[in-house]
Amino acid sequence: MSAQAFGKVAVLMGGASAEREISLLSGRGVLQALRSQGVDAHAFDPAERDLWTLKAEGFGRCFIALHGRFGEDGTIQGALELMGIPYTGSGVMASSMAMDKVMTKRLWSAEGLPTPRSCVLGPDQRSAADLERVLASLGLPLIVKPPHEGSSIGITKVTQAAQLAPALALAAQYEPEILCEECIVGEEVTCPVIGSGALATALPVVRIQAPDGAYDYQNKYFTDAVSYLCPSGLPAAEEAQIARIVLASYRSLGCRGWGRADLMIRESDRKPFLLEMNTSPGMTGHSLVPMSARAQGISYEDLCLRLLGLAGLDTHATYRSAP
């Protein structure tokens, strides 16, 4: 598909989530890449402009470089469906499901896919008895996280019982419901996917080596302290197993376009465990999907064009937009 055939393209970036800063970095990279290839691409920040102007200003396609709530959770996708403007990434339902780590884990468990044991605490479950129940169920170490945030925001690795209450308090700053998860000790890896359904394919696995295992917000985006290995250096059979699990997890959620699954490989038996599915992965200078694509001979610019070419709608229905 030629660059001109894409028409006027909006790169959605920024937004109102806790990941706004990272989204702006992703969006600027995508915008520059698309323009370098002759695409009529324009920056569009939904936090600063009325989304309905996309239709009024003649945008024919959107590249979603938004991360987190109001961009990766099905809300923007629903609005674009109503306007009939094709967009990159998963549709409304898949985006909403993947954004909710609790629902994602329930679906994966029902499908027989490996994911760490977990329990959920509601806003009224902060008593000493509730904390004891979590510790008895999951043991230590464990992970505490808000179920609808990304980029390691609000996450704590709890290694001592006394750390659990402060970890819950931190996660509760982002949302009332909190996910407590068994901590899988081992290697962290990620595996991107491009395409839809039976045509979806896994890209090379990236192995992540963070200082003291601290793959947090700061180390992810603003330091060079983390080592990324791609090719991963894993045994071929192990990487193939991860790719199979990731493709199954992607398809089970109904994802399309592209995505990236994060996993842990348990040190004791080399068993991989799914942590989450990202339906609008980062596209910054530190991001993992471009890194994996490069290992397969796909440049950043070609990756952006390919993803834009996969833009679509859940349905073919269009609705009259608001005035």
Catalytic residues: 19, 151, 221, 260, 262, 276, 278, 282
Phi first, then psi: what are they for 16, rounded to 5°?
A: -110, 10
Residues 261, 244 contacting (CB under 8 angstroms): no
DSSP 85-127: --BSS--HHHHHHHH-HHHHHHHHHHTT-----EEEE-TT--S
Distance between CA atoms of 30 and 303, rounded to whole angstroms? 9
Peptide bond into 290 cis (omega under 30): no
- 46 exposure class (CB count in 10 Å sphere: 0-12, 13-18, 19+): buried
**Which run of H or E residues covers position 243?**
helix 236-253
Q: How far is CA 80 from CA 46, 65, 97, 126, in A?
A: 12, 14, 18, 39
Distance between CA atoms of 173 and 48, rounded to whole angstroms? 24
Residues 6+ apart with CB under 8 A from 41: 9, 10, 11, 30, 31, 34, 35, 63
Amino acid identity for residue 230 in this structure: C
Distance between CA atoms of 64 and 74, rounded to whole angstroms? 11
